[in-house]
Amino acid sequence: MSNLVVVGAQWGDEGKGKVVDFLANTAQVVVRFQGGPNAGHTVYWRSKKYTFHQIPSGLLHRQTRGVIGCGCVIDPYRLNEELAVLSAGRESFFRRVMIDRRAHIILPFHKELDRLHEEQLGEKKIGTTGQGIGPAYQDKFARVGIRAGDLLNEDVFNDKLRRNVAAANFRLMECYKVEPISFKELSTALWKTTRPLVAMIGDGTLFIEKALRGGKRVLFEGAQGTHLDIDLGSYPFVTTSSTVVAGAASGSGISPLWLEEAVGVAKAYTTRVGAGPFPSELPEEEAGRLRELGGEYGATTGRPRRCGWFDAGLVRASVRYNHLSSLILTKLDVLDSFAEIKICVGYRYQGQRLKEFDPFFAQELEPEFITLPGWRESTKTSRSYKDLPLRARRYIAKIADLISCPVALVSVGSSREEIVPVEKEKLKWLK
Ligand code: GDP
Ligand code: IMO
Ligand code: MG
């Protein structure tokens, strides 16, 4: 296989960064196709921690080129910071990443509007990452957004920015009763900030298409997770982009007919940051243990993540929406010390049994659990399937059975080597 889409199969933070870094070993191009700095993808390499927000996570492999696709929204201030951190002491990342000229720009007032909107929602807030994602995509769909390509011409840029600032000021003053922003100050600061990025702007769609045509190995890296998808997720507690496999085509600007394989990433349990339904969520006393063992604090915001048992109904829905041919199960090691482990196998809804998570009725789904015995030994040093404790193998097999999808690999630690093949042959990218 010469291309693979990697998507989160839960509510984000499944360990996509670690998985993409592992799989990018043989990739030539790695593409981010949606979202922006709301993503926080963690990679450990040679004992050093890297957190990717806007740059594709596969780029620690020197042979790779990265694309920030047309479906993304870009915060230029944060992108500069990220590039500077990543480039310190290594060859420049500026030369290895292309920004599609169609990608939209997150402006400082998008962040301000994100914050104010959340404040206004009060108890009903979504719990966004506060990165201005929703307001930036709103402007995109309202057809008034500023795109990366607009940064190439000062007159075009200023003309669009002037109109955007006027519209934003109307909202800031009329809806939220706060101070307006100054066009002049913003224009000067933004122009200066975006200069280092200009050389990176190009036609990402063409670049990706050429790579695919030339038989190069292309990895599409999803951000967030399937159940945060704008259409298929637990709306309105979702992000604003298309986080599923379908988004990989539109967000890269290629035909979906190019896509060959899709793999989902899921944790061996479930987490969620922000508000919204979570049927298998544990009460705080019990969630705390998973949170501490799994280090479940947001990579972007540092917020404590809500924790619960593995929800097979949730991942089963992801298998269907994304047509996944295999799953990579991460953080199995976090369950090493548990005497008993539960799995949510489905739900009761109005006297009926449901096998698949349904976001429409999510608040009313009553989870049904089975309990499996824990293995109570370390899996951290396991490198082959037979190294895993028998009960851990049974846990993995049960999950594969419940979600009707093979588990190709399990991850037993945050570094690249801590990975165990299960049904590896089901992930054709590895052949
Ligand atoms: P992403 O957004 O999907 O890339 O996930 P995050 O990076 O936000 O969160 C996943 C966290 O789990 C990071 O701190 C990773 O270093 C860590 N991690 C990934 N895989 C494993 C694993 O198999 N075991 C353990 N213990 N940690 C892991
Ligand atoms: P990665 O790529 C987990 C959540 C937020 C909030 C909702 C909307 O690291 O898996 P937004 O700022 O996007 O408007 O917030 O989506 N969210 C994430 N949760 N991981 C992420 O990214 C997330 N990106 C957004 O917490 O509930
Ligand atoms: Mg994350």
pLDDT tens string, the chain, 431 residues long: the values are 699 999 999 999 999 999 999 999 999 999 999 999 999 999 999 889 999 999 999 999 999 999 999 999 999 999 999 999 888 766 678 889 999 999 999 999 999 999 999 999 999 999 999 999 999 999 999 999 999 999 999 999 999 999 999 999 999 999 999 999 999 999 999 999 999 999 999 999 999 999 999 999 999 999 999 999 999 999 999 999 999 999 999 999 999 999 999 999 999 999 999 999 999 999 998 999 999 999 999 877 888 999 999 999 999 999 999 999 999 999 999 999 999 999 999 999 999 999 999 999 998 999 999 999 999 999 999 999 999 999 999 999 999 999 999 999 999 999 999 999 999 999 999 98
Q: Is 276's C-beta closer than 6 angstroms to any atom of ligand 1?
A: no
Residue 332 has a pLDDT of 98
Residue 176 has a pLDDT of 96
Residue 399 has a pLDDT of 98
Q: Which residues fall inside 5 Å of ion ligand 3, going by CB?
A: 13, 40, 299
**Every domain range in the chain assigned CATH 3.40.440.10:** 3-102+198-258
Ligand nearest to the CA of 230: 2
Residue of the CA atom closest to atom 20 of ligand 1: 414
Centroid of ligand 1 to alpha carbon of 40 (angstroms): 10
Ligand 2 site residues (CB inside 6 A) read 8, 11-13, 38-41, 126-129, 131, 133-134, 223-225, 228, 237, 239-240, 273-274, 299
Rounded CA gap, 199 and 422, in Å? 43
Centroid of ligand 3 to alpha carbon of 224 (angstroms): 7
In the CATH scheme, what is the code of domain 105-196?
1.10.300.10
Q: Which one, of 131, 115, 33, 152, lies nearest residue 82 by Cα?
A: 131
Centroid of ligand 3 to alpha carbon of 252 (angstroms): 21
Centroid of ligand 1 to alpha carbon of 327 (angstroms): 15
Residue 201 has a pLDDT of 98
Residue 86 has a pLDDT of 85
From 7, 10, 42, give the residue whose CB has the most ligand 1 atoms within 8 Å, as the site to mutate: 42
* Mode of pairing for the β-strands spanning 218-221 and 29-32: parallel
The catalytic residues are: 13, 41
Q: Which CATH fold would you assign to the domain 267-430?
A: Adenylosuccinate Synthetase; Chain A, domain 3 (3.90.170)
Centroid of ligand 2 to alpha carbon of 115 (angstroms): 14
**Every domain range in the chain assigned CATH 3.90.170.10:** 267-430
Count of all residues that appear for the chain in the document = 431
Report yes or no on whether pTM surpasses 0.95. yes
Residue 242 has a pLDDT of 98
In the CATH scheme, what is the code of domain 3-102+198-258?
3.40.440.10
Ligand nearest to the CA of 233: 2
CB neighbour class for 349 (10 Å; exposed up to 12, middle 13-18, buried from 19): middle
Residue of the CA atom closest to atom 11 of ligand 2: 128
Phi, psi of 65 (to 5 degrees): -115, 150
Q: Which residues face 372 on adjacent strands?
A: 341
**Every domain range in the chain assigned CATH 1.10.300.10:** 105-196
Ligand nearest to the CA of 296: 1
From 224, 238, 241, 307, give the residue whose CB has the most ligand 2 atoms within 8 Å, as the site to mutate: 224
